[in-house]
């Protein structure tokens, strides 16, 4: 991703972060209820994902925690991150597979309560068969890079967005 695009992406994430009033104190993961502020996930996620920021700031070098909600039949093509990530499935189920191409026959299903860790630079993909809620912990600055640039949803955005 070109540097200018990364800077713009970081600015958008920071604006979302501020608008949602992200807490910076370490805390237990709060229960999801009507007070939880959900937003459309940043454009580097395929359409349909929602996010709520729980703790920390993914744009700087500090630990952070977000929750992501994925709809039924959601897919994130092969991608990788610049830092290790740790995921807990809180509701639903998520299939995870490793490699440079998505093969749903070569996945492991994580059910509610299951956890997984993925090392920085590891190529992997996910898929859901039902609405799924996950908690993701990592350390900033957060990056998500698609193995195949054509899979990157931000490539399809109009200029100026």
- Closest Cα to residue 45, out of 117, 122, 108, 134? 134
The model carries a pTM of 0.76
**Total length of the chain:** 161
Sole residue written with tokens 């897919």: 75
What pLDDT is attached to residue 156?
74
Q: What is the pLDDT of residues 63-109, one digit of tens each?
A: 999 999 999 999 999 999 999 999 999 999 999 999 999 999 999 99
Q: Is the pLDDT of residue 22 over 50?
A: no
Q: What is the pLDDT of residues 135-145, one digit of tens each?
A: 999 999 999 99
Q: What is the pLDDT of residues 39-61, one digit of tens each?
A: 999 988 999 999 999 999 998 99
Could you give the CA distance from residue 14 to residue 77 in angstroms, rounded to a whole number? Answer: 25
Helix, strand, coil share (%) of the chain residues, nearest 5:
15, 35, 45
Q: Which residue has the higher pLDDT, 160 or 49?
A: 49
Q: Which CATH number fits domain 3-26+36-154: 2.70.98.60, 3.30.499.10, 2.60.120.10, 3.40.640.10?
A: 2.60.120.10
Q: How far is CA 48 from CA 70, 94, 106, 111, 132, in A?
A: 7, 15, 24, 20, 12
What pLDDT is attached to residue 150?
93
Order of all β-strands in the sheet with 50-55: 39-40, 50-55, 63-70, 132-139, 85-91, 115-118
The domain ranges of the chain are 3-26+36-154
What pLDDT is attached to residue 35?
52
């Amino acid at each position: 991703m070109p540097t200018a695009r990364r800077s713009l992406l970081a600015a958008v994430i920071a604006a979302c972060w501020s608008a949602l009033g992200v807490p910076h104190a370490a805390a237990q993961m709060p229960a999801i209820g009507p007070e939880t502020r959900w937003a459309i996930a940043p454009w580097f996620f395929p359409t349909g994902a929602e996010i709520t920021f729980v703790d920390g700031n993914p744009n700087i070098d500090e630990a952070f925690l977000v929750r992501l909600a994925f709809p039924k039949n959601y897919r994130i093509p092969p991608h990788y991150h610049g830092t290790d990530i740790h995921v807990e499935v809180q509701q639903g189920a998520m299939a995870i597979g490793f490699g440079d191409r998505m093969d749903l026959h070569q996945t492991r299903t994580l059910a509610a309560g299951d956890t997984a860790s993925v090392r920085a630079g590891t190529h992997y993909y996910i898929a859901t068969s039902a609405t799924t809620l996950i908690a993701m912990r990592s350390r900033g600055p957060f990056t998500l890079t698609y193995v195949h640039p054509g899979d990157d949803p931000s490539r399809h955005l109009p200029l100026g967005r």
